[in-house]
Amino acid sequence: MSIVSQDKVRLNVKVNDKYEAIRIAGQLLVDAGHVPSEYVDKMIERERSLSTYMGGGLAIPHGTNEAKALIKSTGLSVVIVPDGVDFGEGERANLIIGIAAAGDEHLEILTNVAMLVSEEEDMKRILNASSEAELVDIFESGLDA
């Protein structure tokens, strides 16, 4: 099972708030079999206690530490919100990457994702991807680096 795949990608999503965006990202992980539905609640709980906004239009919602036991396999979901969604204090996220990381893979994945979006042109490529397949290709090439 691929960490990121077309069934875990949504382009051109419109949301009312960050919690709706997180629920969409989490549900993609549930639908792909990486986590049970309770994990989504833990993603919301994490966001309420500590923002997962990383800067530069990127948010990486994930479950609480207690939620790690719920994770069946490592997976990423990618949600593109062209209009952006407020993650608090005027910070707007256009790229929401849901993470469920089994074992100790969490930090490695976060590092790879951060590297993937650190360059402005890479972020533009991601946000302007014309299809789920194109987005998966960008992530797969970046995550394997």
111: confidence class by pLDDT, cuts 50, 70, 90: confident
Predicted pLDDT of residue 1: 47
Three-state SS for 124-136 is HHHHCCCCHHHHH
Predicted TM-score of the model (pTM): 0.93
Assess whether 62 carries a catalytic annotation.
yes
Q: What is the pLDDT of residues 119-136, one digit of tens each?
A: 888 899 999 999 999 999
Q: How far apart, in whole angstroms, are the C-alpha atoms of residue 39 and residue 89?
A: 26
Helix then strand then coil, in percent of the chain rounded to 5, is 45, 20, 35
- Domains of the chain, each with CATH number or no CATH: 6-143 (3.40.930.10)
What pLDDT, in 10s, does the model give residues 52-103? 999 899 999 999 999 999 999 999 999 999 999 999 888 999 999 999 998 8
Catalytic residue among 9, 26, 62, 79: 62
144 has a pLDDT exceeding 70:
no
